[in-house]
Structure 1
Amino acid sequence: MIELLSSPEAWAALLTLTALEIVLGIDNVIFLSVLVSRIPEPRATRARQIGLALALIFRLILLTLLVWLIGLTAPVFSIADKPFSWRDIILIAGGLFLIAKATHEIHSEVEARDHAPEPGLADRAFFWVIVQVVIVDLVFSIDSIITAIGMAQDIEIMVAAVVIAMVVMYISSGPVARFVAEHPTTKMLALAFLVLIGVALVADGFAFHIPRGYIYFAILFSASVEFFNVLAKRKRAPQR
């Protein structure tokens, strides 16, 4: 451990892996922000805290199962000479879940109607938000940890990078969730990105890699346009 603290290579690996884990965590933060926007405060904050805590726990548990994780990339069956591993299966299932969930949420937003709140609806909504967060956390955790294994050799560096990335995600998740909840057009944009991310996960499962740089550039560009759109609306509001 002392040797790692004095090693420039270890610090470089930590910074690189932390940055990568933060970027990979963007998908998780977007999904979590969309989910909690459907439940009122203070349940939304509690659901977000539980979701991020579970994400950290999943990542740390998976880091302790390195041998098993590496085995996830071994083929378990083939279809038309195309081998599939457990990692591929999980990515495909997780991607399809994201596509289905985002499409359902888009439909709910478009067909929104005013209804009287049903008894126990808040409790059921909170429960299902946590269930969906667990599913998506598991998918993103496996992809994230396998990436970490490929980039670093020391478990201490992997754990430190994951913890730092989760702290950054926790700090940023609150403002992101509030912004999404306050601006419906931003929420629709986030849902569209979830569909795109789901497609990328399914493609990865079929060994067709879509460079994440393209997806994150599209997210950054669209978010920048939406930011100026929101800013323009605020400037015009007092004049009405």
Structure 2
Amino acid sequence: MKRYLEQPADDTTLVLRHGGGQRGKAVLDQVRGLADAIEIPCLEIKKDQDRYDFAMGEFHRLGAQATPGAARQLVLAYAGGLGELAGACAQIVETAGARITEDDVERATEGRVEASAFKVADAATAGKAADALVLLRQALSTGTDPIPMLAALNFKLRGIARAYGARGSAGQLAKDLGMAPWQAERAVKDGRAWSEEHLAAAIDFAAETEWLLKGGSRDPEYALERFVLFVARRGREPRRA
């Protein structure tokens, strides 16, 4: 790249993306020294609320409207890069039209690992043990790996732990906890069903389950099922071997 920048081709526009940090800084400084270089700073998006706002902005840019629930579902289903999320927004608008509902997103994300994982996590943290087990077995039967399933469940569990005992409006909770308002409200609501002792036990069990899923057990699916049941029952039953 350094050699190319010394003699760039005529009538060519080169687009470079720098991910931050020191790696590639020499090339970045060289580009900044060019007379016709244009630099566009892009703030990193870390919070789920920012991803939600990004998705809603994409729908608006595409001349479409999405319900808040549809946008939230899409953000959960496409938890990777923003390019993937933007592509998903464009694809749904192309197939579903200018008014996007939760059903549209459900059809578009059917079978995705992230979507399946968060369905299991939502059911488990809501205390719906039977639903959580059915969704878990459906996901595993279609080839979903246990690791992302556990990651989604741990994400929800950490949110409950952070919001445990919190008080205030949705806006204030979102600011204090670094969550979207709807996430903060849900975490506080789910936390009311837990005792502090049981929640601490679930966090410990999560670490143990991660070890089991990453080589500590010959049956990772069974290990994950145990953890899902433990969470769905809010830690009120002892762990089974």
TM-score by length of 1: 0.31
Larger radius of gyration between Structure 1 and Structure 2: 2
Which of the pair has the greater relative contact order for Cα pairs under 8 Å at 6+ separation? 1
Q: More helix per residue: 1 or 2? A: 1
